[in-house]
Amino acid sequence: MLAHSGASRLSTVYPEYGYNEKIDYPYLLQVEEMTGLEFIRKLYGIDKLPDHIAKLYEAQEDFHKETRQVLVNILGVTDKTVRGWGRTYNRMPTYYRFTLGLAYKYMCLQKEMHIQELSDSTDQQRSLRAV
């Protein structure tokens, strides 16, 4: 999250918030577009499964109904709109693909921060036990 060697000129230092190093916002906000099915696969961890098991999972009766509802809630569009993109969401407009990429990146950053908080609290508990 901190500035890397090729940080842009838009990176700034915020000592009033406790940041002594530059935070490279443009680097942080670089988002790749993500298809609807790719987003769903990563969200539910289906992309880590073997192909034949992933296909069985996606062939379940309620899979597309549930995934449609996820996209409706995340993107703020109607169910009819999402159904119009096709079963694999391949007709999804580009700006929604970028929105899904941004949402996924945000979720990954949240997860990283949560894991860091957990490890910090574990370290604090260990140091208190040592005393």
Per-domain residue ranges for the chain? 1-30, 32-130
pLDDT band at 92 (very low <50, low <70, confident <90, very high): very high
- Residue 21: pLDDT above 80? no
How many beta carbons lie within 10 A of that of residue 90, not counting itself? 10
Which ranges of 1-131 does DSSP label H, i.e. alpha helix? 25-28, 36-44, 51-58, 63-75, 79-83, 94-130
Write the pLDDT tens digit of every residue in 38-64: 999 998 889 899 999 988 988 888 898
Are residues 12 and 27 in contact, defined by beta-carbon separation less than 8 angstroms?
A: no
52 CB neighbour count, 10 Å cutoff? 8
Q: Which pLDDT score is estimated for 3? A: 45
Q: Which residue has the higher pLDDT, 125 or 76?
A: 76
State mean pLDDT over 94-103. Answer: 89
Q: Is the pLDDT of residue 105 over 60?
A: yes
Residue-level length of the chain: 131
Q: What is the pLDDT of residue 128?
A: 57
* pTM higher than 0.85: no
* pLDDT over 70 at 32, yes or no: yes
